Structure 1
Amino acid sequence: MKSKRRTFIQQLAALLALGTLNGTKTVAKASKPYVVFVTGDHEYSGELTLPLIAAELEKNYGMRTTVLKSVPDYNGEKDIPGLEALREADLAVFFLRWRLLPQDQLNYIDEYLKSGKPVMGFRTTTHAFNYPDGDDRKRWNAFGEFAFGAPPGWGGKAQHTHYGHNSTTDVTIIPEAAKNPILTGVAPSFHVASWLYRVLPDYPAKGAVPLLMGKSVNPDKAAIDNPVAWTWKNQWGGKAFMTTLGHPDDFQVESVQRLVINAIHWELGLPVPKKWKGKIAINVPYGHPKKS
């Protein structure tokens, strides 16, 4: 009898221990910041570059990530499965261009924005959606403006265009922003492949904090220096970080990598990493057929 009782107690203890361990794992998982990347652009291979950033966050910075992609491929404008993940996200990162998502998918993005959680955007996210006149969803064409303080769509009154595809961009830290934690370890000046986006004179929006300035190299028209990265707070109180960089070659530049990793930590309310974990291996080709 004593032997059976001892065995029962041992089994019970083992079950309790297992439950405790599983509970610890659950708590540990829940305590890790959760970053959801939403990709779908016709040109810049965001569906290839951002998964490499996500992998780095998981490997070296203690985060959980999910990368969502347009289907059947980057040209699929009407479906990004899995957007319900935004309900659990601590940070949403967007790299979109001219999508035509159904309302039920937009609802997840709308819900996320109105929660006041932080958002990050890359390049063509300034014109993430492209609904036609008469469509009830057309207000989403201004997603760049109401989420990030960027111009409300491509061209138009905002004069949101870019310099020619044979140009590149010199980037420098704006002196007033030099001590911003997002710029920790970012070189005072560096060069990127992206042709410079024009956001001035009306953007970034009032209250934004410009961090980096771009100067077009070999422009196809009279060049005006323009901000290429800024922070802002949107109408729902969400912290926003926006960069008009995003050419796949940009992600090979260590200063761009540090900018992104730092900004993700800042958005999450975490201290910028004291020690850089080293350059990330990102070698993604440019070459999607459509432009801008």
Structure 2
Amino acid sequence: MKRIIVFCLISFTLLNINAQEWITFEGKKGAGNGKHIVLISGDEEYRSEESLPMLAKILAERHGFKCTVLFAIDPATGNINPEVNNNIPGLHFLESADLMLINTRWRKLPDDQMKYFDDYLLSGKPVLGLRTSNHGFKNETGNYVHYSSVYKKEDPNHPWYRGFGGLLFGDHYVKHHGRHKHESTKGIFAKNASEHEILRGIKDGEIWGPTDVYGCRVAHLPITPLVMGQVLKRAGEYDKNDRFFGMRPTDKPLEGPKNNPMIPVAWLKDYQHPDGGVKGLAFHTSMGSSTDLENAGLRRLVVNAAYYLLDLKIPKKGTNVNYIGAYKTTAYGFMGKAFWDDKGLKPADLK
């Protein structure tokens, strides 16, 4: 009898942990009704565990999409821990996904999890990538080392050049073009892009975020640039206790070569898995920290892009991106594994 009780307690504990490994928001009325978006977090720096649940709530409550949010999970505790880079439970939901929205950074996932990404890309379904997704993987062993952001980095003609980021978005980030934590980004419409559907309801120059412009080498690629990143010089003092580090959208453009020419920070690109995959479409913005997404213009860019990728009509004034409930953000930066162990954050806490 004691053995049975112990077994039941262990089973209950394991089920309780597994039940909290992801969260789902059922879609309400809206253009996205019947469509499933899987949002995949897992980065140590830019707080995707904060931003993706917020976006999922908006997409579900205001636009009707069913949204499933996945996290980097410590299997020993069931806690969200972005420092655990080899485990994102729930990737099987990609089998029923109509859109993948991803913001991972240098994940080293096992083959049984990577296979869901590979199958999804073979299908040619759309991909929406934020910030670090352009260097979302760094597999060193197994059958999916070609997803790594350093794969064939010296051969730009290789179909898996720069891995997942190269195939989907054209490249991974090369460097911090703007000065990290000191030079923020204002979004300026690309030439001839102002009438693009994805920019509906967004004013030129409205997009702003405290992350710096990434130095992505995409200008020579067959992409459709939508937004260019204007580097701003911080007017005030650096403040490590401010979630914007003292930077503000009223800061002035930096003079000099960093803004001449400006680098794209949002674009569209066709993709096709080299192993006979169906042709698909990807949208990428190299902005996307949780603090960046406090900006309504950037949120609208992302939600508009979801509509566009799913061939849904974007309203003339753009999509509704008002928050559902409170949205509390943390300054971007590396916290360390012990921070997450102490925090004890579960996916259910973000529902």
- Taking structure 2 as the reference length, the TM-score comes to 0.67
Aligned pair partner of 2:227 in 212, 222, 242: 212
Cα distance in 2, alignment partners of residues 65 and 97 from structure 1: 21
Secondary structure of the residue that 1:177 maps to in structure 2? Answer: coil
Q: Are the structure 2 counterparts of residues 221 and 123 from structure 1 closer, same or farther at C-alpha, using a change threshold of 3 Å?
A: farther
Q: Does residue 230 of structure 1 match 2:267?
A: yes
Cα offset, 1:187, TM superposition? 1.2
Q: Who wins on radius of gyration, i.e. which is larger?
A: 1
Q: Distance in 1 between matches of 2:219 and 2:126?
A: 17
Instruction: Pick one of 152, 160, 164 that aligns with 2:179.
Output: 164
CA–CA distance in 2 between the matches of 1:263 and 1:222?
Answer: 30
Structure-to-structure mapping, 1:1-292, within 5 angstroms: 32-72=34-74, 73-132=81-140, 136-141=143-148, 142-149=163-170, 151=171, 153-155=172-174, 160-165=175-180, 166-190=182-206, 191-200=208-217, 203=218, 206-218=221-233, 222-224=257-259, 225-235=262-272, 236-274=278-316, 276-277=319-320, 279-280=322-323, 282-289=327-334
**After the TM superposition, which of the residue ranges 105-114 and 243-252 deviates more from structure 2?**
243-252
- 1:211 alignment partner AA: L
**Aligned residue type for 2:131:** R
- Contact 1:38/1:68, CA 8 A, preserved across alignment: yes
Is contact 2:37-2:67 (8 Å) kept? yes
Structure with greater helix share of residues: 1
1:206 offset after TM fit, Å?
2.9
SS of 1:101 mapped into structure 2: coil
- Where does residue 237 of structure 2 map in the other structure? none
| 1:206-228 alpha-carbon deviations (Å, 9 max, x no partner) | 32100000121237995141000
| Cα RMSD after superposing both structures | 2.5
What secondary structure does 1:285 align onto? coil
Tell me the TM-score normalised to structure 1 length: 0.80
- In structure 2, relative to structure 1, the CA distance for the partners of 1:193 and 1:89 (3 Å cut) is same
Amino acid at match of 1:164: R
Segments of structure 2 that go 5 or more residues without pairing to the other structure are: 1-28, 75-80, 149-162, 234-253, 273-277, 337-351
Letter in 2 for 1:167: E
Answer whether contact 2:299 2:321 (CA < 8 A) is retained.
no
Supply the AA of the counterpart residue of 1:277. N
State the Cα deviation string for residues 12-48 of structure 1 (Å, max 9, x = none). Answer: xxxxxxxxxxxxxxxx9x9611000011001011111
Q: Percentage identity across aligned positions?
A: 32
How far did residue 154 of structure 1 move? 4.7
Structure 1 alignment gaps of length 5 or more: 1-27
Distance 1:290 1:233, change over 3 A: farther
| 1:126 and 1:143 in contact (8 A); partners too | yes
Q: Say if 2:226 and 2:264, in contact at 8 Å, map to a contact too.
A: yes
